[in-house]
A = this chain, B = another copy of it.
């Protein structure tokens, strides 16, 4: 179904279709539109669960560095320093990273790297926190280091078990993520269920430790210029993680949880769509409405000024007919 329209000069120039599932406080689906039970690749929306699996394997991180282990970070200076700190804690350095080289996602950080004569490298890649933490988990568990991205490595088997436990469903397929790590396919419903499980887990448990670290340090799990951190800052208790190819999943302390996949893989409609979806659930007290308005307002530019916007289209109810 159509989830957003891109409006230019009053004209719907482009449209984004996709699938949405929303779970109510009791964990039952209250909104289901599109493909919500078919296998999909959550991409980096799996990272919070992957970090839980690393803790189960013996990873010893808290706070900012744990948020970074679950991050798609922007490659800002503090992220890079954090990645190096995780590696150093395991007696390693960035030569051990197996993620591919990339420039920072953050535009200011990108300019800084290039202006200082740098270029794409592994430590600036948005998944380097996850890769560093995977290495540290292997070191803690006395597992082989060099083969850590192998799906049959004990760490990846432990992560897979964790993903299945939190999502409440078997992993439907194993692919290769953009960063080279194993990528576990889940249904959108399973993905939302996993996020719900993390915010409702016992304080101090591995899932709750990851959820709490991400919520305490949203800049460390995305970046200072990112809608993901702005959303978590605007909505108390919100756990949210995006993934490549148009994925986002979130959960609230109320027990509401949701997952969205944009069919075409574009991310640009997700901020406006997420804000509309969050508001439709009722946010309780404490949400920063001005910040949410700002996050939802994504201008379409003409000659440098706004000549349009992205209009979210919220699904309602249970649309089983479209479910494949």
Residues of A within 8 A of B (CB): 6, 8-11, 13-17, 39-41, 98-101, 111, 114-115, 117, 119, 149, 173-181, 183, 185, 245-246, 262-266, 301-304, 307
Contact indicator B264/A303 (Cβ below 8 Å): no
Residue numbers in B under 8 Å from A263 (CB-CB)? 14-15, 17, 264
Question: Which of B41, B177, B264, B304 is in CB contact (< 8 Å) with A264?
Answer: B264
Contact indicator B175/A245 (Cβ below 8 Å): no
Contact indicator A8/B180 (Cβ below 8 Å): no
> Nearest Cβ distance between residue A257 and chain B, in whole angstroms?
22
Interface majority SS (helix, strand, loop, mixed), chain A: loop
Contact indicator A180/B14 (Cβ below 8 Å): no
> Nearest Cβ distance between residue A258 and chain B, in whole angstroms?
19
Q: How far is the CA of A41 from the CA of B13 in the complex (A)?
A: 7
Question: Which of B10, B14, B174, B179 is in CB contact (< 8 Å) with A265?
Answer: B14
Question: Which of B177, B246, B301 is in CB contact (< 8 Å) with A302?
Answer: B177
Contact indicator A14/B264 (Cβ below 8 Å): yes
Residue numbers in B under 8 Å from A15 (CB-CB)? 263-264
Residue numbers in B under 8 Å from A174 (CB-CB)? 9
Enumerate 10 A-B pairs (CB-CB under 8 Å) in ascending A order: A8-B41, A13-B40, A14-B263, A15-B264, A98-B303, A101-B304, A114-B114, A175-B302, A175-B307, A179-B302
Residue numbers in B under 8 Å from A173 (CB-CB)? 9, 11
Contact indicator A9/B175 (Cβ below 8 Å): yes
Residue numbers in B under 8 Å from A176 (CB-CB)? 8-9, 302-303, 307
Given A178-B301, A180-B304, A302-B178, residue A264 in contact with residue B17 (CB < 8 A): yes
Identify the 9 closest CB pairs spanning chains A and B, nearest first.
A180-B303, A9-B175, A176-B302, A100-B304, A14-B265, A264-B264, A114-B114, A176-B307, A14-B245
Q: How far is the CA of A9 from the CA of B11 in the complex (A)?
A: 37
Contact indicator B8/A301 (Cβ below 8 Å): no
Given A100-B304, A117-B115, A266-B264, residue A185 in contact with residue B11 (CB < 8 A): yes
Q: How far is the CA of A8 from the CA of B119 in the complex (A)?
A: 27
